Amino acid sequence: MNTEKTKGLSTDPYKGVRDFYPEDMFILNYIFGVMRKTVEKFGYQEYSASILEPTELYKAKSGEEIINEQTYSFKDRGDRDVTLRPEMTPTVTRMVAARKRELVFPLRWYSIPNLFRYEKPQRGRLREHYQLNVDLFGVVSNDAEVEIIALAHQIMRQFGAQEDNFIIRVNNRKTINYILEEVFTLDPHQAYKALKLIDKKDKMTPAEFKEKATEFFKKRTQFFLDLLNAKTIEDMTEVAIAEGSTEILGTKEVTDVMHRLKLMGVKNAVFDPTLARGFDYYTGVVFEVFDTSPDNPRALFGGGRFDDLLSVFGSDKVPAFGFGMGDVTIRDYLETYNLLPEIRSKTDIMLCLLDDSVHIFADTFAQKLRREQLNVAIDMSGKKVGQQIENANKSKIPYIIVIGEDEIKNSQFKLKNLESGKEIVLPSEKDIADIILKTPEQQ
Ligand code: HAM
């Protein structure tokens, strides 16, 4: 016997990616819907692009880790180096650079691309995820920071999140660079390595971090750790001044942003000097949104200012600030806080047939209902009507109409709400549509 044939191919998806069955699509579409509705409220326009990009796009400024360890890269048949996009920021920047002269700034753009990263699959981290990207191009001032962070906060609130259950951490790359290059006088190469160390801080024990930090800061390591441990900007300034340093660059910007956010009702933004963000292209304020519960230790959003990225296309600088928000982490979050919507079918009515002879009538009847804007399916299983009703219920379809010779003869149809069990006899498809579409309280 051919054993290979009986064993068959695996039905598992490729490692670290997901299949989306209709119930998963329901959730994904709900998530996308909330994202879209919120960003459009702030005046953002949707754009899109291919998942394929020339590999060199990421070499410029994404960072070594993403290029060397996390990309899906290959050579195409024409010997070109191609990468499945691991993030959208280089793509959107390329698109802006390509049409810089025609576009009207400030530009408010969003997209929900699928991204590919060769990561070790684990809770909150997969090899393919969807990521809402929201970016504001053309604003030099902190107006951009304030709008975008307030928008991120608004998305969380739209999902039903309470302010106590998430936190917005804010820092400034200028602050980190000032500490590394001015306070500790590291050369740019050392400073870059120290920044990467800060970015990895949460993945190490405090002792490991201290040991690695000593390589850069030698006798002044404790001073460095004290700066990073500061809970507020005032604390950090105090530590710096006590060691003979001055006010730290970039902290005033963060104070201003947090103050303005408070005025807009965002009360859960905090300064976090350990927040570095992995990508090389960030130039100013950076932020991440975290769940306050230890069940979901990963960032829900991450973003920042990237004023220099357009220059890799030989274009003049265009200031930019934006973020990415993944579907995997927000779904975990919504599950944790019981915020996921109940799964419902998009089909309003299933027509259940008493016998096959009524099928021709059902076809035209369904068409009439569809013209009344209802979503209608016909049970073609040939099963007993009781079974048909049960299946409609299992498929979470809210209404059924049983069609038999008598119903056709009398032109009277019983619309049954499967949840309440209520039945209403109705003569026309218009009445049926009125009941379902115009009186939602009866559903
Ligand atoms: P990022 O921090 O790499 O930033 O990703 C942003 C968010 O995408 C994360 O906070 C997380 O929710 C989600 N995410 C990232 N990687 C994965 C993964 N492997 N599996 C599941 N979810 C993931 C960026 O990508 C920047 N390009 C964002 C940005 C836009 N900065 C400015 N504009």
* pLDDT tens digit sequence for 351-400: 999 998 999 999 999 999 999 999 999 999 999 999 999 999 999 999 99
DSSP for 232-274 reads SHHHHHHHHHHTT--PPTTHHHHHHHHHHHHHTT---EEE-TT
Whole-number Å distance between alpha carbons of 348 and 372: 12
Going from the C-alpha of 337 to that of each of 36, 166, 291, 298, 331, the distances in angstroms are: 22, 11, 10, 15, 10
> Is 323 close to ligand 1, i.e. is its CB under 6 Å away?
yes
Going from the C-alpha of 413 to that of each of 281, 368, 400, 409, 438, the distances in angstroms are: 64, 14, 10, 10, 18
Looking at the predicted structure, is the pLDDT value of residue 6 above 80?
no
| pLDDT at residue 439, as a whole number | 55
168 token code pair = 């917005």
pLDDT band at residue 247 under the 50/70/90 scheme: confident
Task: Return the closest-CA partner of residue 134 out of 118, 145, 119.
Answer: 145
| pLDDT at residue 246, as a whole number | 82
Whole-number Å distance between alpha carbons of 414 and 432: 9
Mean pLDDT of the chain: 93
> Is 155 close to ligand 1, i.e. is its CB under 6 Å away?
no
Query: Distance of alpha carbon 383 from its chain centroid, rounded?
Result: 42
> Is the pLDDT higher at 59 or at 189?
189
Q: What is the mean pLDDT of residues 308-335?
A: 94
> Is 129 close to ligand 1, i.e. is its CB under 6 Å away?
yes
Identity (one letter) of the amino acid at 56?
E
> Is 131 close to ligand 1, i.e. is its CB under 6 Å away?
yes
| pLDDT at residue 1, as a whole number | 47
What's the 163 CA to ligand 1 centre distance in angstroms?
22
What's the 318 CA to ligand 1 centre distance in angstroms?
22
pTM (2 d.p.):
0.93
| pLDDT at residue 64, as a whole number | 73
439 token code pair = 């009186």
Whole-number Å distance between alpha carbons of 6 and 316: 62
Q: Whose CA is nearest to atom 30 of ligand 1?
A: 323
What's the 324 CA to ligand 1 centre distance in angstroms?
5
Instruction: Confirm if 155 and 35 have CB atoms less than 8 A apart.
Output: yes
| pLDDT at residue 68, as a whole number | 79
Q: Whose CA is nearest to atom 18 of ligand 1?
A: 125
Identity (one letter) of the amino acid at 323?
F
Looking at the predicted structure, is the pLDDT value of residue 208 above 60?
yes
Q: Which residues, including other chains, have CB under 8 Å from residue 72's CB and lie 6 or more apart?
A: 83, 84, 86, 116, 118
Q: To test the ligand 1 pocket, which listed residue (35, 129, 136, 298) has its Cβ within 8 A of the most ligand atoms?
A: 129
Residue 138 pairs in a beta bridge with none
322 token code pair = 């934006």
pLDDT band at residue 440 under the 50/70/90 scheme: low
Instruction: Confirm if 306 and 292 have CB atoms less than 8 A apart.
Output: no
Determine phi and psi for 417, rounding to 5 degrees.
Answer: -85, 115
Q: Whose CA is nearest to atom 15 of ligand 1?
A: 326
What's the 251 CA to ligand 1 centre distance in angstroms?
25
> Is 130 close to ligand 1, i.e. is its CB under 6 Å away?
no
Q: What is the largest CA-CA distance in the chain?
A: 95
Looking at the predicted structure, is the pLDDT value of residue 298 above 70?
yes
> Is 284 close to ligand 1, i.e. is its CB under 6 Å away?
no
Q: What is the mean pLDDT of residues 106-119?
A: 97
Which is the closest atom of ligand 1 to the Cα of 329? Answer: 12
Query: Distance of alpha carbon 79 from its chain centroid, rounded?
Result: 34
Percent of the chain with pLDDT strictly greater than 90: 84
pLDDT band at residue 442 under the 50/70/90 scheme: very low
Sign of the Cα torsion 398, 403, 406, 407 reads positive
Render pLDDT for 37-58 as a digit per residue (tens, 0 to 9). Answer: 999 999 999 999 999 999 999 9
- CA angle 61/66/70 to nearest 5° reads 155
| pLDDT at residue 244, as a whole number | 84
Whole-number Å distance between alpha carbons of 436 and 382: 26
Residue 325 pairs in a beta bridge with 132, 301
Pairing of strands 166-172, 45-46: unpaired
Per the listing, tokens 């009125």 go with 434
Whole-number Å distance between alpha carbons of 326 and 266: 21
Which is the closest atom of ligand 1 to the Cα of 135? Answer: 33
Q: What is the mean pLDDT of residues 208-223?
A: 94
Instruction: Confirm if 387 and 418 have CB atoms less than 8 A apart.
Output: no
| Helix orientation angle between 221-229 and 206-217, rounded to the nearest 10 degrees | 130
Render pLDDT for 400-418 as a digit per residue (tens, 0 to 9). Answer: 999 999 999 998 899 999 9
